Amino acid sequence: MRKGQVTIPSDQDFFDATKTLIDKWGADAIRDSDGTKLDPELKTLSMKFYSTYFVARGHNEFAASHPAAVQQLYLMSERVVAYTPTLTIGLMAGYYDQQIQPNWRDNPKTYWEVIDRTTGMVVKPADWTVDEASQSVQLSAAIPFHEYTVSFLADMLWDPTEMYNHLTNNWGDKPHDIPFDVRDPAARDFIQSYLKQWLKANPEIDVVRFTTFFYHFTLVFDQHAREKFVDWLGYGGTVSVAALKAFEQIKGYRLRPEDFVDAGFYNSTFRPPTQRYLDYIDFVQRFVTDQAKILVAMVHSADKEAMMFLGDNWIGAEPYGPYFKEIGLDAVVGSVGSGMTLRLIADIPGVKYTEGRFLPYFFPDVFRPGNDPVIEARANWLTARRALMRKPLDRIGYGGYLKLAAQFPHFVDYVAHVTDEFRDISDKIADTIPYSSLKVAVLNGWGKLRSWQSFIVAHGKRYEQTYSYEGVLEALAGQPVDVMFLSFNDILATGIPADVDVMINVGSVGTAFSGGDIWQEPRLVTLIRQWVAAGHGFIGIGEPTATAQPYQGRRFQLADVLGVDQELAFSLSTDRYWDQPMGENIAWITKDLTLDFGTGTPNLIAVADAQYLRYGREQLRMTVKDYGAGRGVYIAGLPYTLDNARLLLRAMHYAAHKESILMQNYATNPNVEVHVYPGKGLYAVLNNTHDKQNSELFLNGKHTVVELEPDEIRWEREPQ
């Protein structure tokens, strides 16, 4: 088996063992990690060397001498009820004082807000004072039994990722990395001059891995040093007085603290974005692009490659944003926690190559006595491999501390299997287009900007309440369909792309993913109804097209398309009769599948002429409905399982009136998937389980039977 396309970490005093693993895993590149240094002897090897480069952290001498340049964010105090007209609100209650402190430099009367949360009214600055000594705000004219908060600017004194690594790996009295803001002119000059010096001092480094550029995703810890608020896509850590002034000059209006605090929701990616927040995102992305491309040009002038890590300080450099290509990066690398996150990295446009960091990280929380890291590694590879068959990464690798991984021989052997199998896949399908039977558009409030990023925390982690939804994108990541991401504003501005066969709207009511009150827009629902009636498919999962309150008598605004609505007790006096048989169409979609609807969606009611499936305690779980020449399909929830992925695949083809196309390249066993590569005359059959599997195969009208070993990929020539 050939070598290459693999990056591994290393450390000091580990030269001989590293050489052994280089050979076993076929690695051609070595990287350092946060808290490690490469052994000087490694540089005698004929390898490519990556160096982690922190732009706006790890320079405490500069940060300490320029306190005004520290990064900031808006935070909201705890909610406090007034019992008398005088009220004291402590700012730091619930926050970790080693991470953040209030910003007393910039006039609180100008940049803070006190809000009566009972009325939503802003309290006049004349009615409150600040006390730096007690880190509090005192109100003098509070209304008894009203609830109040303070929105205040805070300094970020400890980089959140370095803090996490510090605490996870017990780094003891190692100094805390203080992040600083590139908007400060002195910081900008320092960043550029330091990089210039660093490039000269490190001629042996081939790839500068920016981790990342300037602004960390929103991550705030509580008083016990636990995560308090984390939004992997959050722009909370980008704010400063300089940013507020620049925004007003460029966009023509002034932002309020509430535009960031958002009543304590902090513009979570689940919130339907306001136009003001979208304007701010655009403003930050433009600035980050302009500054980042200066650094990338410096790297290129030193004959090195510039790589961006998809995480940590990546805010403003979103790869699917409108300005990202202008940065001029050679590569993007990110952590692969699922098929969905693999596609997030592999699909990035405008770079020469993409690289995935597979799990587990070589950290002591996994590589500890008595634990078997192969369990996580095997699950991670098998899940990601489905997506790799649709869009391969150019490189893979691992992160953390190689000394830990080397203590687990079984894990070392398994990684050798992964790297060999990855290179084999790459050799066979790189630069070829896989067969697709459908074009699918995922419809939500973010569209292309947040491609493959619905419902995730980071690296494939999930929120408990999105269990029933995230399986949709995970299923799509490895299915033989082309996937695009569409926003509601896209449809309103330019309509629905002509080549889309099926549209999917999935999520909880009121969120950016379901849509919220955008569904009260008559043009939106009219355009989609017309499109479905013309012969297309619309699939809703969870609480699709739903408004917070019933609008014109409907909760689901496309109930007529989906064949289902949701009862909110307003029509309990209306009789419902459940006497219709399931119907042959639902029977075809669900045949021989063990289904998991997750937490489901309660109180669903079928609309006239819909076929429906009742499942478990007689709750409605699925509907299908003809709509003109098109079809609607509703599913109450769809966690990721192989059977659920097959359910979605069948439902999409049914909705698009393309059931016969489904059978063109198809495995009857849902644990088995077929990927066809017409340009290479190849097809691959995947066993996505750790057990032996048998399946019938249909390939270009030819029928056969296959037996697969656990985890096997079977490559064959495409039948003629």
Helix (H) / strand (E) containing 634: strand 630-635
Contact 544, 531 (CB under 8 A): no
Q: Pairing state of beta strands 611-615 and 604-606?
A: unpaired
d(CA 259, CA 344): 28
| Beta-bridge partner residues of 54 | none
Q: How far apart are CA 235 and CA 341, in angstroms?
A: 20
User: Using CA atoms, how far apart are residues 417 and 433, in angstroms rounded to an integer?
Assistant: 25
What is the rounded CA–CA span in Å between residue 522 and residue 620? Answer: 28
| CA dihedral over 505, 506, 507, 508, signed as positive or negative | positive
Helix (H) or strand (E) holding 522: helix 522-533
How big, in percent rounded to 5, are the helix, strand and coil portions of the chain? 30, 25, 45
| Chain mean position to CA 262 | 21
- Tokens representing 243? 């940013």
Residue 330 neighbours by CB distance under 10 Å: 17
CA dist., res. 256 & res. 19, Å (int): 56
Q: Quickly list DSSP for 455-516.
A: TBSSTT-B-GGGTTTHHHHHHHHTSSSEEEEEEHHHHHHH---TT--EEEEEE-TTSTTT-G
Q: Which two tokens stand for residue 587?
A: 């029977």
Burial letters for 378-390: b for 16+ Cβ neighbours within 10 Å, e otherwise? bebbbbbbbbbbb
E strands present in 91-217: 100-102, 113-116, 121-122, 128-131, 136-139, 147-156, 207-210
Which residue reads 């979609």 in tokens? Answer: 589
Tell me the C-alpha distance between 56 and 53, whole Å: 9
3-state secondary structure of 673: strand
Largest Cα separation within the chain, whole Å, is 84
Q: How far is CA 584 from CA 581, 610, 611, in A?
A: 9, 12, 9
Phi, psi of 68 (to 5 degrees): -70, -15
Active site residue 312: yes
Q: Which of 155, 279, 312, 560 is catalytic?
A: 312
Count of alpha carbons within 13 angstroms of residue 416, beta-carbon side: 13
The two structure tokens encoding residue 174: 């190692």
Measure the CA–CA gap between 505 and 558, rounded to whole angstroms. Answer: 11
Nearest Cα neighbor of 611 from 651, 571, 557 is 651
Tell the residue number behind the tokens 């003809």, with chain if given: 626
> Exposed, middle or buried, 493 (CB in 10 Å: 0-12/13-18/19+)?
exposed
Could you tell me the two tokens for 345? 């990295």
Cα–Cα distance for residue pair 483/347, rounded to 1 Å: 10
Q: Give dist(CA 600, CA 656) in Å, integer.
A: 24
User: Cα Rg for the chain, rounded, in angstroms?
Assistant: 27
Residue 334: both structure tokens together: 């990110």
Among all residues, which ones are annotated catalytic? 312
